[in-house]
Amino acid sequence: MLTASELEELPVLPNDTSDFTEGTYTIPCHKKKELTAEGPDIVNKIWFHTQPLDTDTIQRIHCMKLVAKSRDQGFSDDPLAGNWTWFEIAILKTKYSEEPRVKDGIQLVWVSHRNRFLSKDYGWEEGVEFGKDHDIFRLLEEGNVIAVRLCARFQAWQIKARTGYLVLDIGAPVPRKALQYGQTKQTVLSIQEVFDEVNSTILPNSMQISAPPSDLLFRAEMLTSASEKPLRVLSLDGGGVRGVAALMHLDAIMKKVAPGKKPCEVFDMIGGTSTGGFIAIMLGRLQMTIEDALKQYKKFMGTVFPTSRWTTVSLVKSGSKWDASELEKCIKQLVQEQLGQDPDQVLLLDEESAKTCKVFVMATRQEGANNQAPVLFRSYENPLEKSELPGIKLWEAARATSAAPMYFAPLEVGGYKFLDGGLQANNPMGWLWNEVLSVFGPARSTNCFLSIGTGIAAAKAVGDVRNLKGFTESVASIATNSEITNLLFRSLINAFAPRPMAKKYYRFNVGDGLPEWTEDDDGNWTWKLLETRVEGGVAEMDDITAIDATEEQAKKYIELAGAQKMIEECAEILREDI
């Protein structure tokens, strides 16, 4: 990073740029400015900006970055909840504009860097480098200005800026093609229209799936990942001992994808609920192989649900069938074995493992189970949503998502009591979709959405998603939230997600008849069953005596011709770019 004295010695970019030479210039600002947030809404303020830029100057910018001397409020109730003050670079239409320019519904702003964190002393921080191929230079137009903005979010967060330099490297003209965002925003809004319709007419408050705020989502910053390799994401239902079937389904797929590869090396994000959350933690956060996870899972189920200990008296006395201390002991032991660390010191949040595979699990607040949305515990930071319990231990997250009512006592963390996430979202696909949007941006392509159930009977087929009224009415007849989520998202993702009308949603669930998305002779897309649907016959979540039968069911399902066809299709997609 350039020192303060080196920055001061650099020439200032002249207003008349018709004959300036190649080199490094600055646009300095010595005007102090500060900003304080008063709630969850983002507040921002323009600090300084360039003069209006002509086409020649825009073409000659090879690199740009912000260097600023600043500080924040110097304290935080929970430092693990993140840094909520930052600097942004924005394109303004003119030097008199107060808001960023909007193109194709996208606000032209990018994050430069986070403010100096929890410090009452001013210090220098350097922003990201905007290279000559960055989108910002393809979006600038004659007469536009580049502005530096101060930003803050959430109560009492402050950003105090003292001195700033926008550093520009000027060179030979670079030909650039104008960037178009096209229908990106409208595509995402089309999906949200269906969400809203289903939410308001079908789902109770606690199951409603709301998309990230559009004012945060539709920013140029969120679309810069459009050219990166397509994502692969995995959703795991809850189901107690039936989770063995989910692991067997995934194992069959992974053996076709790349034998020897771990799921964390294939999937960019894994989301799970209840015991599906526990499996997500094993595969993504602990980075286990499926073979090891399956072995540990069977051992875990046998210890937590012993065949000889439960009596009706224990349920009456404690309100739960099984001893939660055994559950906690098993989880802690697994963490110790896999990481070699004290489980009481290991957080779910982990920047290193999240670089490979991001993991979230879901739980339910006991006091808000009927009217509040599920709580997500993440191994990563979501840039659009402040985590409620960022300091939650890894074992606590696994324990909370698995605390099924009547089976285990709730877990208290941070003053809240948490229950099994399956109460509100046994199938986490809807929330996985939102996390993909928030973390990777709406323009990032996803090649494969893999959803794995645990033997919940399939519901009836639904109509064409493009007929909104008929689609909503048919979804309304579905009885369980796992199948509501499945039937809603399997059509939405294939029809509207990046690469519209391309198959990228796969679900494996014993007894579902293996519905396949196909196009008929009239060009209409619908679902047809590859096999005979078999409803019922699945084990209770704590019936350890049925684990062998569950394995046999899963084995027969996997061997079906329809399953083999879908496994091969799914594996072919997952093999790309590995």
Q: Residue 110 maps to which CATH number?
A: 2.60.120
* Interatomic CA distance for residues 262 and 405, integer angstroms: 32
Residue 235 sits in the same domain as residue 335 = yes
Return the CATH number at 353.
Answer: 3.40.1090.10
Q: Is 208 a domain residue?
A: yes
Tell which residue, 238, 241, 181, 188, has the closest CA to residue 211. Answer: 188
The larger pLDDT score, comparing residue 204 to residue 336, is at 336
Instruction: Quote the Cα angle for 31-101-87, to 5°.
Output: 40
Calculate the alpha carbon distances from 353 to 163, 188, 265 in Å. Answer: 36, 29, 11
40 and 144 assigned to the same domain? yes
Q: 201 and 146, same structural domain?
A: no
What pLDDT is recorded for position 522? 64
Whole-angstrom distance, CA of residue 423 vs CA of residue 416? 16
Do 74 and 204 lie in one domain? The reply is: no
Residue 285 lies in a domain: yes
The answer to the question of residue 184 being in a domain is: no
Angle between helices 394-401 and 324-339 (to 10 degrees): 140
Take residue 577 and report the two structure tokens written for it: 């770019």
- CA–CA distance, 224 with 409 (Å, rounded to integer): 45
Tell me if 84 sits within 8 A of 157, measured CB to CB: yes
Here the tokens at position 198 are 């289903």
pLDDT digits (tens, 9 = 90+) for 135-162: 999 999 999 999 999 999 999 999 999 9
- Closest Cα partner for 374 from 320, 326, 429? 429
Long-range contacts at 473-477 (CB < 8 A, ≥ 24 apart):
475/198, 475/202, 476/201, 476/202
Provide the domain count of the chain: 2
Q: Are 159 and 19 in contact (CB under 8 A)?
A: no
Residues 164 and 212 in one domain: no
| pLDDT above 90 for 501 | no
| Token representation of residue 176 | 């650039």
Rounded Cα distance, 100 and 317, in Å: 62
> Tens digits of per-residue pLDDT, 298-321?
888 888 877 655 444 444 455 566
Positive or negative, the CA dihedral 404, 406, 411, 412 is positive
pLDDT at 467 over 60: no
pLDDT at 380 over 60: yes
Residues in Cβ contact with 39 at an 8 Å cutoff, skipping those fewer than 6 apart: 154, 155
Name which residue leads in pLDDT, 444 or 526: 444
**Domain contains 176:** no
**Are 158 and 307 in the same domain?**
no
Q: What is the pLDDT of residue 460?
A: 42
Phi and psi torsions of 131, nearest 5°: -75, 175
Domain membership of residue 335 as a residue range:
194-217+230-575
In a domain, 483, yes or no: yes
Q: Does 188 map to a domain?
A: no
Instruction: Give the position of tokens 């299709």.
Output: 569
pLDDT attached to residue 459: 43
Average the pLDDT over 54-62 and give the result.
Answer: 95
**Do both 95 and 204 map to the same domain?**
no
As a whole number of angstroms, the distance between CA 558 and CA 554 comes to 6
Q: What is the pLDDT of residue 462?
A: 44
pLDDT at 465: 45
User: How many CA atoms lie within 13 Å of 570's alpha carbon, on the beta-carbon side?
Assistant: 30
Q: How far apart are CA 335 and CA 216, in angstroms?
A: 36
Least confident of 39-53, 385-399, 446-460, 521-535: 521-535
Same domain, 370 and 473: yes
Q: Quick check: 458 pLDDT over 50?
A: no
Predicted confidence at residue 214, as pLDDT, reads 77
For the cut 90, the answer to whether the pLDDT of residue 340 exceeds it is yes
Q: How confident is the model at residue 472 (pLDDT cuts 50, 70, 90)?
A: very low
Residues 247 and 327 in one domain: yes
Q: Residue 187 burial (CB < 10 Å; 0-12/13-18/19+)? A: middle
Mean pLDDT taken over the chain: 84
The pTM of the full predicted model, rounded to 2 decimals, is 0.86
CA distance 323 to 328: 9
The owner of tokens 């009308």 is: 501
Q: What percent of the chain has pLDDT over 70?
A: 78
Q: Is the domain of 265 the same as that of 121?
A: no
The highest-confidence range among 124-128, 204-208, 545-549, by mean pLDDT, is 124-128
With a CB cutoff of 8 Å and minimum separation 6, the contacts of 158 are: 34, 35, 36, 37, 72, 73, 85, 152
Rounded distance between C-alpha atoms, residue 376 and residue 271, angstroms: 9
Tell me which H or E stretch contains 67: strand 61-71
Q: Catalytic amino acids?
A: 274, 420
Q: Is residue 97 part of a domain?
A: yes
∠ Cα 247 251 253 (to 5°): 120
pLDDT, tens digit, for every residue of 223-278?
A: 887 778 999 999 999 877 788 999 999 999 999 999 989 999 999 999 999 889 99
| Residues 264 and 304 grouped into a single domain | yes
User: Looking at residues 464-489, what average pLDDT do you find?
Assistant: 51
Q: What is the pLDDT of residue 419?
A: 80
- Select the highest-mean-pLDDT range: 168-177, 296-305, 368-377: 168-177
- Secondary element (H or E) of residue 400: helix 394-401
**533 in Cβ contact with 515 (< 8 Å):** no
Task: Establish if 183 belongs to a structural domain.
Answer: no
Q: Are residues 19 and 114 in the same domain?
A: yes
From 352-361, 411-420, 422-431, the region with the lowest mean pLDDT: 422-431
CB atoms within 10 A of CB 523: 7
Tokens of 294: 């399956």
